[in-house]
Structure 1
């Protein structure tokens, strides 16, 4: 089996380099070695800029609502639909399916009796688990729904259960509804927020991607944007809460849209892409001209501006000073 040296950078804090979506695909065809110094292949995300240190093939993955910078990567996986040859749509929730080994449970076809028992075991009305205060629509709806019936908050925002919960899945399983609002709304941007409640046989109340029905079965969740007013949406939630048969009909629905490729087919296609990239003799973007590029994000007077700073690497640090900001470039 051929050996391949890879590394992962700029992912979320609990990302495990030897147990993740990409690693577990690659070990099917390669002897994979994590090399943090001189990898053949780097897979990086959007939470830092460590990727700039590496002169090798770079593959970008984002779970956030950000666009790939194709001047810095050879290939990108993101939530966008395919717009170019070196891009493939891989939404964040796919990584959650693998990491939490959800697929078997998500695709299991329950009997009506099984669904009834699941629903009847739910003793609480609605919850959310949120630590990001940026989505005002989510916060406003939490307050509005709470006027009709108690909504529990297990995250850092509006926490009313004695502190942030340690295990989100264990927390939400007792609730009929889960507020599943994305941090922001953008076409095609779908994360794990709609998936988690479905996994635990809850009903998601979703807001975010206007095309979410291309990913998930629209009979399996409640879409905020389907209702003219929040009052009508809340009335629908109360109706389902008081009618078990309506709820059981929903949780019996298959979770995914018929338009979506299967998770197994997605695995096949992603692995084929990775193999093709590894076998390619094309000189990676990260070597040569683009190795002399660093991306500097300037934040000034509340406006976000992105600039590409071109310079040749030198031994000395370059210090750039701006009002209230200091940037050190190595």
Structure 2
């Protein structure tokens, strides 16, 4: 509930991958719940704001000469460098014209050590209570906080849908596997090559220079012909889970996944995770077994993706604690 009679809390986005899109509404709602106040988004980079949320993109800021000099001097002292003094971090640092500085990443990046009040990331470590787990799929591919149309699928994916069983028709999907890929990471391409030995993998996206994949809803439409959708994460790290698995599942196909869902958010019976097999060859052999059995495929495809409903309670609670002065009406 928003506090009445208080000026809006000002929020600015910085170092974003591009123009801030629909995710702005997610963060507006998140910080409104955390502070109990209306949120006003500011674009002026020079203006002082209450909260600045930064990502990993754009130009980094080099440490100042004084901080580098002090680190040099400390490195020659008996106790070494004082890493608790975050002013002298060598990592990405926020600008100074925000009262609270929040780091967010939608990619597999670790929260940078430094003068940050809060982190929102894939990392499961608390970092002295400053970090809260916030996977990208909550923002882009669910209605956990607000109704959202997935920018990568062109359709909404609700928590209720992901918690429900379904009936999928094996016979209506004559093709083997579709892969929608923007970046050709080595293990991803090795896996597609291995899968191609048991069936034709049709690749769409930037890797294939395939211009059909110009609209998000093309991904959903194309996938209706396939038994499997390839959904490997960019990298393997505990907690690093993006929109790839929910979107693949939402097409009705069986997702072929590679990732580390350390939070146990997803039903392991609803997809095939290459990370659970001793070798890539074992993974491909099992996929071949599923592809040749309508019963086995249907058992996997009918499973709900989620076994329990995720909540934003911990995210909101941690931010409320960190942003307590704003909740109490103390702004700039």
Summarize the Cα distance change of 1:75–1:173 in structure 2 as closer, same or farther, 3 Å threshold. Answer: farther
Q: Structure 1 residue runs of 4+, over 6 Å off?
A: none
Q: Give me the whole-angstrom Cα distance separating, in 2, the residues matched to 1:20 and 1:123.
A: 39
Q: Give me the whole-angstrom Cα distance separating, in 2, the residues matched to 1:187 and 1:275.
A: 26
Are positions 1:130 and 2:181 aligned together?
A: yes
Q: CA deviation at 1:40?
A: 0.8
**Could you state the TM-score of these two structures normalised by the residue count of structure 2?**
0.72
Q: Which residue is 1:294 aligned to?
A: none
Q: CA deviation at 1:105?
A: 4.9
Deviations 1:62-103 (A, max 9, x none): 111111124131100111213321111111121122433422
Q: CA deviation at 1:18?
A: 7.2
Summarize the Cα distance change of 1:35–1:116 in structure 2 as closer, same or farther, 3 Å threshold. Answer: closer
Contact 1:12–1:47, Cα closer than 8 Å, also in 2: yes
Are positions 1:94 and 2:138 aligned together?
A: yes
Deviations 1:236-278 (A, max 9, x none): 22222232221221122221355xxx33x22x33223333333
Q: Which residue is 1:26 aligned to?
A: 31
Q: Give me the whole-angstrom Cα distance separating, in 2, the residues matched to 1:30 and 1:123.
A: 52
Q: Which has the higher contact order (CA 8 A, sep 6+)?
A: 2
Summarize the Cα distance change of 1:108–1:207 in structure 2 as closer, same or farther, 3 Å threshold. Answer: closer
Which of the two has greater strand per residue?
1
Q: Which residue is 2:226 aligned to?
A: 175
Structure 1 counterpart of 2:55, from 45, 54, 63: 45
DSSP-derived class of the 1:68 partner: coil
Structure-to-structure mapping, 1:274-289, within 5 angstroms: 274-280=319-325
**Could you state the TM-score of these two structures normalised by the residue count of structure 1?**
0.72
Q: Which segment is superposed worse, 178-187 or 9-18?
A: 9-18
Are positions 1:116 and 2:168 aligned together?
A: yes
DSSP-derived class of the 1:115 partner: coil
Question: What RMSD, in angstroms, separates the aligned Cα atoms of the two structures?
Answer: 2.8
Q: CA deviation at 1:197?
A: 0.8
Q: Give me the whole-angstrom Cα distance separating, in 1, the residues matched to 2:28 and 2:221.
A: 27
Q: Which residue is 1:223 aligned to?
A: 273
